[in-house]
Structure 1
Amino acid sequence: MARRNSVEIVEAFWEEVWNDHNPDKIDDFVIEDFVITNPDGSIEGREKFKAWVSAFLDQVHDLRLEVVESFQNEGGSRVASRWIVRGRNNGLLGTEPDGRPISFSGTAVWAVREDGKLEHNWVERATWELYQQLTSTSGR
C-alpha cells in the first residue's frame, strides 16, 4: 500500500479554502459529519463548518494563511501544522472593524481518513494575544 501524503491534502485545503477565500471548496476536502474543535467548542457538520469559515473570512479582510510547517505521522492519518494568519480587522473577536493589520499564530491537528478526506480538526489560536492587539489604543 502506497503511503499517502496527507500534508499535501491539508495544505491544499489551506490554500483553496482560506487563501482563495472560497468556503464552497470545503465540500472537496471534508466529510459530511466533519468536526472542528477549537477553544470555543466544537462545530459539527460540513454545512455548519462552511458557515463558520464564511463568518471568519468576513471578520478578517484580505486573510492570508501562511503555513510555517506541517508534518504527518507514518500512516498519514494525522497531520500537524503551525501557521500564521495575516489580514485586516473587520470586527474579529467582537472588536471595532477598524481595518488595522492583524497577525496571529496557531496550530492545527487533522484526522485524515484513508481516502484522503478530512474528518476532524483540532485548532489552537493565539486568541488572547490577538485580542490584546485589537483592543490596544497604542495601535490605533
Structure 2
Amino acid sequence: MNSVKIVEEFWEAVWEARNPEAVHRFVVDDFVITSGGVDIAGKERFIAWVKQFLAKIKDFHFEAIETFQNIDGSRVATRWKITGKNNGFLGTEPDQQPISFTGTAIWAIREDGKLLHNWVERSSWEVFQQLTKD
C-alpha cells in the first residue's frame, strides 16, 4: 500500500486547497485527531476543527516538507510548515502579522487506505512568542 500517496492527497485536498469538506473522502467515521494531547473524535468534529483552524490564519499556506511510511504502510509521518497571516491564532489579536510554524503528523492508516487516527504536534510555543512579543 502506498500510504505516502494517500496522506499527500489528503494534505493537498484538505489543507492546500483549504477545503475541510474533502475530509469525507479520506477518513473513517470514527476518526480521531490528537492535537497537543487532546482527542477530537469523529469525522464531523474533525471537519469543524479544520474549519476553525483555517479561520485563524489568513492567506493560509501548507507545505509538506517530507513524508514517509513504515514497512507495511500502517503508519505515515510528515514534517510540515504553515505560513500565513495571524487572524487570531492561539487566541491572539487578529493583527494580520506574518506567521510561520512547523509541525509533525503521524497517521494510522487502515488496510483499505482510510485514515484512522492522526497525532499532530506543532511549534505553538514559538509562534505564540512571536505573536505576543512587544
TM-score range for the pair, normalised by the shorter chain length: over 0.9
State the one-letter code of the partner of 2:10.
F
Alignment of 1:114 with 2:102, yes or no, is: no
Deviations 1:92-112 (A, max 9, x none): 000000111100000010001
SS at match of 2:121: strand
Counterpart of 1:70?
Answer: 67
Counterpart of 1:103?
Answer: 100
Counterpart of 2:26?
Answer: 29
Structure 2: stretches of 5+ with no match in the other structure:
none
- Runs of 4 or more, structure 1, over 6 Å off, are none
Identity %: 59
Alignment of 1:91 with 2:88, yes or no, is: yes
Alignment of 1:136 with 2:126, yes or no, is: no
Structure 1: stretches of 5+ with no match in the other structure:
none
Structure index of larger Rg? 1
The structure 2 residue matched to 1:53, chosen from 50, 71, 81, is 50
Hey, what's the Cα distance between the residues in 2 that align with 1:77 and 1:63?
29
Hey, what's the Cα distance between the residues in 1 that align with 2:9 and 2:97?
28
Counterpart of 1:42?
Answer: 39
Alignment of 1:16 with 2:13, yes or no, is: yes
